[in-house]
Structure 1
């Protein structure tokens, strides 16, 4: 309770008790966060007994860097219900998301700077240009656009989404310099103009219609998962469920039977298809733990399965 005759206090006394400046109190009042009880005959602001606690709450919320709009919603809820509930929870959750994004960006910038610092002097300018073209935190949008243009037309949206989840690597939250360099290399690879008139898509994309494309890529995704399990166990390419599923994906998309002749023809066709090995090499560098075993990617799984198919098919 203020000691004045009317139980109210002026802006200077309120600011002094709360440990803030008069300018701060005036700002909160002008923005409707700290209502005045009345004005003196001389036009000076007067505040009621609850103003000090309210001002301290505002100060605490602002210390957490919450915007004025969020503070207003929290105070309005407190005025209505007598407690800060959902509005406070939402504001804190939103601020945590913002801080998480900021921390990710800072970790990414730190690793990028270390990558430039640790490179040979003759390579620093080029590496700086490569890494500097990537935003922080990084976005996978360029990779997704590349694959959307690469996939067969008219594929169902669900099939496209499933393929992108497998083909587009997510940059780590706490990368090392090598992972930053690998992701920058991927972005540069998918955004630069294509050289020459060489085809960039495999013959498998000639499967007719949206249904055939969906069948093909759903089957390939399952086969790649099975092959990845074999690769993690250091098993050599060979016959098994992974290879059978791999061949069946192509056979089902073409509405034909899985026969020895089909396998021989498929092995020859896939061996002649255009390749983007560098994409998968960089992907492996990005998703694998530093110094650890390389994680299988759809590209390396495809190579494992193709090797198994060729060794099984043999010459006609």
Structure 2
């Protein structure tokens, strides 16, 4: 063979680390054909065959299918082209694995039922385009025929939830909850009623009429009560609620009685729907935005306190 070193199949196995049966398979399939045969009929391979076999092993270990490997060996594709395409495919696989990991963590943390787990998996498997279509359908169905303020609709679309390629466990849980929420007709009706305030973060009429001093006091006291875990229906809350009612009654020249309390509760409840607030918080989480402190929880505390004690005489 003009001084060319030839290797037996056993020697190739030792040099490449591949089992003899694998080399024999590659040889039979034409991936790495033998260079010659010994007088006894055993396959012999030269240095080029050894190098080709090492390339085949490397590409296969990187997960590249055998058909593509053969195209590389036939010089129909370069290793660089194959590597780039395969890297993109691996990126997709990594994103899917991370998404599955997040779903599994949500399931483990929440103790989801089999049905909830299947729904969660289905919703997270939607493509980016499918997720956008889901939200577009929600926005079109909510505002498409209501003559809604175009500025409000534009703000709603600007805040479209968009699950990232590598979401956290919290983002996955938020996206699943959002996806279920936007298909609920009752929620759509709630959103139609309150979207202007939530999207624009406008002030309620009661906030404007009461004045900055009363509102600043109310917000500070309600926030402190909420942070302290005070039950709005407890005796501990009663003096605070009485004081707030009295301050508002003075501004509106009303008696701080049960009727005024009901009126005051309606004013604060008008544009503050807990489910709509939940929607915005979920959007912030899914998009990875900083959650903006909201006045809705403190107002909800006050509304509950006012409506829960309608017979109270101030």
Q: TM-score w.r.t. structure 1 length?
A: 0.50
CA RMSD of superposed structures (Å): 4.5
Cα gap change, 1:25/1:137 in structure 2, threshold over 3 Å: closer, same or farther? farther
Deviation at 1:105, TM superposition (A): 2.1
Cα gap change, 1:63/1:137 in structure 2, threshold over 3 Å: closer, same or farther? farther
* Residue pairs, 1:220-299, within 5 angstroms: 277=276, 279-289=279-289, 292-294=290-292
1:242 corresponds to: none
1:71 corresponds to: 69
Q: 2 CA distance for matches of 1:118 and 1:196?
A: 26
The total of aligned residue pairs comes to: 206
Which stretch of the first structure deviates more once superposed, 64-73 or 42-51?
Answer: 42-51
Q: 1 CA distance for matches of 2:23 and 2:81?
A: 25
* Residue pairs, 1:1-316, within 5 angstroms: 7-40=5-38, 43-77=41-75, 87-119=78-110, 124-125=112-113, 128=117, 130-136=119-125, 139-145=128-134, 147=136, 151=140, 166=158, 168-190=160-182, 192=183, 194=185, 277=276, 279-289=279-289, 292-294=290-292
Deviation at 1:283, TM superposition (A): 1.9
Q: 2 CA distance for matches of 1:185 and 1:196?
A: 13
Deviation at 1:34, TM superposition (A): 0.8
Q: Is the 8 A contact 2:285 2:291 kept in 1?
A: no
Q: TM-score w.r.t. structure 2 length?
A: 0.50
Q: 2 CA distance for matches of 1:179 and 1:106?
A: 15
Deviation at 1:8, TM superposition (A): 3.0
Deviation at 1:186, TM superposition (A): 2.6
Cα gap change, 1:9/1:164 in structure 2, threshold over 3 Å: closer, same or farther? farther
Cα gap change, 1:196/1:100 in structure 2, threshold over 3 Å: closer, same or farther? closer
The structure having more radius of gyration, on CA atoms, is 2
Deviation at 1:25, TM superposition (A): 0.8
Deviations 1:141-178 (A, max 9, x none): 0441552586469xxxxxxxx99984643312333322
Deviation at 1:71, TM superposition (A): 1.8
Deviation at 1:180, TM superposition (A): 0.8
1:156 corresponds to: none
- SS for the counterpart of 2:44 is strand
Cα gap change, 1:201/1:87 in structure 2, threshold over 3 Å: closer, same or farther? farther
Cα gap change, 1:36/1:166 in structure 2, threshold over 3 Å: closer, same or farther? farther
Q: List runs of 5+ in structure 2 lacking aligned partners.
A: 146-153, 194-198, 202-269, 294-314
